[in-house]
Amino acid sequence: MANTLTDNEKASIINNHLSNLYFGQYNIELSLKEENAKATPDEKVISNVNNQLADISKQIDVLNAELATLTITN
């Protein structure tokens, strides 16, 4: 017999993942600001950071879509 998670439990896990992604996203945004503040910003670093931001945005979108499929009860 397999134990299954309730939608509320799944939502809690998804929300934890989202929280971690939002922390990571903010951290990367700060890295971008720091790089742009340099006298000579490294375009490779900026490109890499922008790619990381795009990836996180996609991950957030996927998790929000999954969250929307759940029936949450109070």
pLDDT tens-digit map of 22-36: 999 999 999 999 999
Which tokens sit at 19?
């929280």
Taking only Cα atoms into account, the Rg of the chain, rounded to an integer number of angstroms, comes to 17
Which tokens sit at 47?
């490109």
DSSP 69: T
Q: Considering the entire predicted model, what is its pTM?
A: 0.88
pLDDT band, residue 13 (cuts 50/70/90): very high
CA distance 14 to 41: 36
Instruction: List, for residues 43-74, the tens digit of each pLDDT value.
Output: 999 999 999 999 999 999 999 999 999 999 98
CA distance 50 to 70: 31
SS3 percent helix, strand, coil of the chain, rounded to 5, is 75, 0, 25
